Amino acid sequence: MLPSAAAVALALALLSAATTSPKFGGTNIPLHKRKSLITVNGTFDRAAAVKDAAKIAKKYSYTQGNYLKNTGRKINNRTDSSLTTFSRPPFPRQAEPLTDIEDDTEWAGTITIGTPPKNFTIKFDTASSDLWVPHSSCTSHGTQNRYNPELSSTSTSKDGNFAIEYGDGSVVSGPIFTDTVTIAGVTVANQIFSAVTTEAAHFLSDTTDGVLGLAFPAISRLGQPSFFQSAMSQRSVHSGEFSVKLAATGAELFLGGTNPALYTGDIEFHNLSQVGFWQIGGGHVTVNGSPVTSSCAGFEVVIDAGTTIMYGPADQVEKLYNMVPDSQVFDAQSGLYSFSCESMPNVTLSWGGRDWAISQENFNLGRTESGSCHCVGAISSRDVGLGANVWLLGDSFLKNVYTVFSVDRQAVGFAQLA
Ligand SMILES: *[C@@H]1O[C@H](CO)[C@@H](O)[C@H](O)[C@H]1NC(C)=O
Ligand SMILES: *[C@@H]1O[C@H](CO)[C@@H](O)[C@H](O)[C@H]1NC(C)=O
Ligand SMILES: *[C@@H]1O[C@H](CO)[C@@H](O)[C@H](O)[C@H]1NC(C)=O
Ligand SMILES: *[C@@H]1O[C@H](CO)[C@@H](O)[C@H](O)[C@H]1NC(C)=O
Ligand SMILES: *[C@@H]1O[C@H](CO)[C@@H](O)[C@H](O)[C@H]1NC(C)=O
């Protein structure tokens, strides 16, 4: 049996199974996981983890650049000079070949664009805000679906150009349009998006067409409302909230509220500390019941259901593993540590409310190698370029809780899974 910490990716299983539930007043979309950082033999897949970390760093480089461009401020009040221009990634360039990066750490599903509706398979991303798909003139995109504005009666061309630059300097770019976009029965008219005519080489091997971001306009490259914000303003969703349950089975994205069948008790909300990413402050971490950091102000946390594991500042992560018996640096490049599988730590996160435990199953990324009695932990010290006191919480944390992303409250909420 593989631990469910193995999950890297979640895919929308059957969009046709999406249903509108009058009882809950929202739309639920079943998700399933696709890939693992653990090999079939239960050992840690180091190569996959290194690629994953490099991809995360690239994603955060451009979204933080967008924030600076849109707001005139650096995200997290960063004082370092690395974010001065949009085009310069705030992290050292990575040696990993981009063509090998498998873009499989987000949820994928079918949306439709245009009139008549045309299907696209896109990744849902809670840490970016734009929508893009390939343009019909994009010849580099293999067999994927393409958007032809001539074939949609509701297409309107907009001024300007969209571009996302990746860590290797390659660019995804193209013209901007508005058109009708539908996901799982939630329809938005005049949604702004890009149909890209050039794509970075590493998208060629991708099984999806594009990306749909679920974060805020402040980190949008287009500086425009995201699909979900358009759905709110056009009253296509019942509330300005979407919720996520990530699990090996029964995973679900719920648009327009929460699904009460999936959690028990109250939702513990925490106001966003900054509106761009889904980011909250005042975070604390414990290991086996003892606090890791003494700061009463705590740390910032970015919630990203498109990230596999958890990343923290190197000094804090080192302190954390120092509290775990028999721990050592396992892989400096990916910032990962190992420890005895016999003394798996109990790690919790809190924001001044209850302690949210990370199950040992979700913390364990598998044995360092076949037959080893050392296991790899799901918190990495690798710098993904988010700043000195910022953690990034991905699936390894989110699988332990029901998570509510509330635009209405400008808050993230956690509840006990049912
Ligand atoms: C799993 O173990 C088998 C038998 O020891 C081995 O042949 C195979 O290469 C291993 N697979 C991985 C992905 O480590
Ligand atoms: C950034 O600085 C402003 C002004 O000092 C402060 O109000 C805000 O809380 C800071 N944000 C973060 C995320 O540290
Ligand atoms: C579009 O996607 C839906 C849901 O996955 C599917 O039922 C339908 O057959 C697709 N249409 C085309 C033209 O591929
Ligand atoms: C959270 O924000 C709301 C307003 O949106 C405010 O009423 C409330 O006091 C804030 N809570 C905390 C703990 O700051
Ligand atoms: C972790 O928690 C479990 C269940 O509460 C407990 O059995 C175990 O002893 C704890 N481990 C450590 C290292 O404290």
CATH of the domain at 214: 2.40.70.10
Residue 377 lies in a domain: yes
CA 94 vs CA 4, 56, 153: distances in Å: 29, 11, 43
Active site residue 159: no
User: What pLDDT score was predicted for residue 106?
Assistant: 52
With respect to residue 55, please indicate whether it lies within any of the assigned structural domains: yes
For the chain, the first-to-last Cα distance in angstroms comes to 23
Whether residues 233 and 269 fall in one domain: no
For residue 6, being part of any structural domain is answered with no
Catalytic-labelled residue, pool 45, 52, 125, 395: 125
Ligand 1 center to 105 CA (angstroms): 23
H helix or E strand, kind and range, residue 229: helix 227-233
Same domain, 128 and 168: yes
Contact 45, 37 (CB under 8 A): yes
- Per the annotation, the verdict on 125 as an active-site residue is yes
Residue with CA closest to ligand 2 atom 3: 77
Residue nearest to atom 2 of ligand 1 (CA): 41
Question: Do 110 and 164 belong together in one domain?
Answer: yes
Residues with CB under 6 A from ligand 5: 288, 343, 345-346
Residue 2 lies in a domain: no
Token output for 375 = 């296991």
| Residue 206: per-residue pLDDT | 61
- Residue 130 in any domain: the answer is yes
Note whether 211 and 278 are same-domain residues.
Answer: no
21 lines ligand 4 (CB under 6 A): no
Output the pLDDT for position 254.
84
Co-location of 228 and 303 in the same domain = no
70 shares its domain with 207: yes
Range of the domain at 289: 260-417
Q: Are 392 and 386 in contact (CB under 8 A)?
A: yes
Strand, coil or helix: what is 360?
Answer: helix
Location of structure tokens 């302190």: 319
Domains contained in the chain, number: 2
Do residues 269 and 238 both lie within one domain? no
Cβ distance 195 to 106 under 8 Å?
no
What per-residue confidence (pLDDT) applies to 86?
A: 36
Check whether residue 232 and residue 269 sit in a common domain.
Answer: no
Residue type, position 14, single letter = L
Residues 282 and 321 in one domain: yes
What string of pLDDT tens digits covers the 418 residues of the chain?
333 332 222 333 223 233 333 334 566 665 555 566 877 778 888 887 877 777 777 777 777 878 888 888 887 776 654 443 333 333 222 222 222 223 344 566 778 999 999 998 887 788 889 999 999 987 665 667 899 999 999 999 999 888 876 545 567 789 999 999 998 788 999 999 999 887 665 555 566 788 888 999 998 888 899 999 999 999 999 899 999 888 767 777 888 999 899 999 999 999 999 999 999 999 999 999 999 988 888 999 999 987 889 999 999 999 999 999 999 999 888 899 999 999 999 999 999 999 999 999 999 999 999 899 999 999 999 888 888 899 999 989 999 999 999 999 999 999 999 9
Last residue of a domain, one of 219, 245, 271: 245
**Ligand number nearest to the C-alpha of 411:** 4
The answer to whether residue 220 sits within a structural domain is yes
Tokens 């400096």, located at residue: 332
The residue contributing the CA closest to ligand 5 atom 1 is 346
Phi/psi zone of residue 184: left (φ > 0), alpha (ψ -120 to 50 degrees), beta? left
> Are 244 and 125 within 8 A, CB to CB?
no
Ligand showing the shortest atom-to-Cα distance for residue 386: 2
Closest-CA residue, ligand 2 atom 11, reads 76
pLDDT value, residue 166: 57
pLDDT at 99: 23
CA-CA-CA-CA torsion sign (200, 201, 202, 203): positive
Q: Are residues 231 and 265 in the same domain?
A: no
> Does residue 143 belong to any structural domain of this protein?
yes
CA dihedral of residues 299, 304, 309, 315 (deg, nearest 10): -20
